[in-house]
Chain A
Amino acid sequence: MKKRQLRWMKLDNSAKLYPATKRRDWSNIFRLSITLDGMIDPWLLQEALNKTVRRFPSIAVRVRAGVFWYYLEEIERAPRVKQDHSYPLTHMPFDDIQRCAFRVLYYKNRIAVEFFHAIADGNSGLIFLKTLTAKYLELSRSIKIPCEQGVFDVAEQPREEELRDDFLRYAGKNPLKQSEATAYQLKGTPLPNGFRDLIIAELDVKEVLDVAHEYKATLTELLVTVMIQSFLSVQAERVPPKKRRPVKVLVPNNLRRIFPSETLRNFVLYVSPGIDPKLGDLTFEQMLSDVHHQMALELTPYRIAARIRSNVGFEQMWVLKLLPLFLKNIGMKIVYNMNGEKKTCITMSNLGAVKMPQEMAAHVQRVGFTLGTQHTSPNNCAILSFGDKLYIELIRSIQEPVLEQRFITNLRDMGLHIKLSSNYGYGGVQ
């Protein structure tokens, strides 16, 4: 019998960086999880996964190396679901990514999916997780969940627009070149064996929105400013005035909100609002106003289109296209090492309010979103809200929770009620 030709696709524009910048002990991954109201049955979860992967040919893939570029190749069968590890986002070696670029984990009543960033962004990952959970609920509870609000029908064929690289579609005519100053980098004692400490702050979403609206800002702008304020105070204690650097936060933005797109590939572009300590001791209101205007300016469609053109331009240069993959990897790694993580202090990714069909939401206790740390920057922060709760997940690869302490106490000082949970810390700190 003739073997079926496996479907393959090129990496999207932003995904090209991720395989090239991987390290022996680090790759760019993120995690989404849904906690249900009952224990997870791994057999049924495996069954649900087997049915779900067929609907997502751009996510159920492995990363393969060609002569000139990496590419994505369809996996023949779904990966085995596994029990969760003792900490989130354990290292995903590239050998594993070449077999399957995501993993499905379960622990008690929680289903988690950890994605290699080249195959999906937070929004498409969330659609995959919601569809998987809906299928699991259908199998385990015999309930019918309508295919709406990010839950896909697994019996349906994937649509062409879901698999398209929309960066190429929405790139502007002329590129916009931006040079950015190097930002302050927090240092600390690395946690051994690649362990990651996670602190989850649970807040009332209405309380936070009320505070943000008082300042005439959005929730993201408020949290970004609190983070900047926290970094500035850490820097003020650790670094003499003359050597202080700007504090900048990398905020990924879902371009589907700006351009009409249904793609399930990466479709995110970053803005990096920040405050330079050379401006003097600004009040919180001044900082927030500054951040608000920086973000509003950067998020205009024409600026975004021009920035996409700059990124796409590199990919379309014939000289670069013809370079063998290993040379491209060396080049991209050098550029990434020189610029990638040094231009910002931390990434703060806000997935926004997670919506799902009522029939499904009735069984969901919470939704989680965790970003992996960068290779050198030790902290990252992921945010989402579900129901009336806002979850801020702060991950770190160093022992000292100095940034988390400032960030949380700054929020507390605004009169917000915060409930914390953590993953117990390395070596049984708890």
Chain B
Amino acid sequence: MYCIKCGVELADSEKRCPLCFTRVYHPDLEMPDGDPLFPDNPVIKRHTVTRAGSLFILTSLFLIALVMPLICNLSITGEVTWGGISASAIVLAYIIVVLPFWFKRPNPVVFVPVDHAAAALFLLHIDLFTDGNWFLSFALPTVGASCIISTAVIALCRYVRKGYLYIFGGATILSGMAIVLTEFLLNFTFDIHSRLVWSIYPCAAFLLIGLMLIIIAINPALRTTLEKKFFV
């Protein structure tokens, strides 16, 4: 038999052309039945490391890291003191690094706020443990600002899928303002200074960079000029 498409002769064992997969068929000719080149054994399944297996191993390692300091702490002091902070840190690392991989398609718009919430809880734990009273006046607003800015950037990039210069320009300006807020909260909570000292400098730099990105976004001619000068 010949393949009508490729014009090559096919061995009797071939039911289709191996090049174009055209079925070998002629209504007036009886199809010969040749021996296949290889036996029809089942394909040997490869033993690969599965996602669930890897996650199981990682989770076990994290569990060991979580339990060991607690046991040491209990055996040394007879109660959970610093071991609790260490365990919280391991839980936080697990939530940030491993938890998203338990899901088939982890959505960063969900996981970034989750990570921030976990970080806030970790800070609350330290605050309570040290009796610091700085969580509500400093840690919560700082983490909240970071959460709002990063979630907004990720959500806009993921769902709008255009205007990246506007998104990153706006995020840079907001980050500059967040630095000022951080210094203000530090001063307010810990009574360090009565006025803003260092945050205005990074804030000014962030504002300039953010404004520059927005100006480039607004001005197509400037974009073309910059592209012409800096193309790779």
Contacts and interface: CB of A to CB of B under 8 A. Distances in A.
Interface of A: 25, 83-88, 90-91, 107-108, 192-195, 197-201, 401, 404-405, 408-409, 412, 417-426, 429-430
Given A193-B43, A420-B9, 5 more contacts: A85-B41, A87-B38, A199-B19, A405-B6, A424-B36
Contacts of B21: 429
B78 interface: no
20 contacts: A85-B38, A87-B43, A90-B44, A91-B46, A408-B19, A409-B6, A409-B19, A412-B6, A418-B9, A419-B8, A419-B11, A420-B11, A420-B14, A420-B17, A420-B19, A421-B13, A424-B37, A424-B38, A426-B43, A430-B16
A420 B10 contact: yes
Interface string B1-27: 001001111110111111111000000
Interchain residue pairs A-B with the least CB separation, the first 4 = A421-B11, A422-B18, A86-B41, A419-B9
A107 B15 contact: no
Contacts, number: 97
B197 to A, nearest CB: 49
Contact of A200 (B3, B17, B37, B41): B37
Nearest to A416: B8
Contacts of B48: 25
Interface string B190-231: 000000000000000000000000000000000000000000
A420 B16 CA distance: 11
Nearest to B15: A430
Contact of A419 (B10, B19, B36, B41): B10
B38 A405 contact: no
Contact of B39 (A86, A408, A417): A86
Contact of A84 (B3, B14, B15, B39): B39
B37 A421 contact: yes
A200 B14 CA distance: 12
Contacts of B38: 84-88, 107, 423-424
B40 interface: yes
Contacts of B43: 86-87, 192-193, 195, 426
B105 to A, nearest CB: 21
A422 B6 contact: no
Contact of A401 (B7, B14, B19): B19
B221 to A, nearest CB: 26
Contacts of A408: 6, 8, 19
B42 interface: yes
Contacts of B35: 108
B37 A412 contact: no
B104 interface: no
A193 B44 contact: yes
B39 A421 contact: no
Contact of B46 (A25, A107, A425): A25
Given A83-B39, A85-B38, A422-B37, A405 B11 contact: no
B173 to A, nearest CB: 38
Contact of A420 (B18, B36, B45): B18
Contacts of B8: 201, 408, 412, 418-420
A417 B45 CA distance: 38
Contacts of B17: 420
A418 to B, nearest CB: 5
Contacts of B10: 419-421
Contact of B40 (A86, A195, A418): A86
Contacts of A87: 38, 43
A370 to B, nearest CB: 11
B36 to A, nearest CB: 6
Contacts of A88: 38
B19 A404 contact: yes
Interface in B110-161: none
B5 to A, nearest CB: 10
Contact of B18 (A84, A85, A425): A425
A292 B14 CA distance: 36
B20 to A, nearest CB: 7
Which of A86, A404, A423 has its CB near the most chain B CB atoms (within 10 A)? Answer: A86
A430 B17 CA distance: 8
Contacts of A90: 44
A194 B19 contact: no
Contacts of A25: 46, 48
A425 B46 CA distance: 17
A195 B41 CA distance: 12
B6 A198 contact: no
A424 B20 CA distance: 13
A296 B41 CA distance: 45
Contacts of A198: 37
Which of A91, A193, A419, A424 has its CB near the most chain B CB atoms (within 10 A)? Answer: A424
Contacts of A200: 37
A404 B20 CA distance: 10
A412 B17 CA distance: 15
Which of B40, B43, B46 has its CB near the most chain A CB atoms (within 10 A)? Answer: B43
A36 to B, nearest CB: 14
A193 B46 contact: yes
A392 to B, nearest CB: 12
A412 B9 CA distance: 11
Contacts of A424: 13, 36-38, 40
A419 to B, nearest CB: 4
